[in-house]
Homo-oligomer: A and B are copies of this chain.
């Protein structure tokens, strides 16, 4: 069954308080050397049938309109080749 992954991250110019909180906590907890953390979302979609170009375009449209907020977020759609087997 084909699997498509949609990664949604805040745009670089948008403040990410969750990520900043993690970046601030890491040194206190003994992990140094991390300069920046950004937190986003990852969606794994399983499709039935073949993964055609039209299906991918539909997933892209869903990612743009439903899974992300285009005002503050960027998204990337990619097929999870290893997981498709």
A interface list, Cβ under 8 A from B: 1, 7-9, 19, 22, 25-26, 29, 31, 33-49, 55, 58-59, 61-62, 65-67
Contact = CB atoms under 8 A, between A and B. Distances in A.
A35 B22 contact: no
Contact of A34 (B29, B40, B47): B47
A61 B31 contact: yes
A42 B1 contact: no
- Copy count, this protein chain: 2
A50 B31 CA distance: 15
A44 B9 contact: yes
A43 B39 contact: yes
A48 B41 CA distance: 24
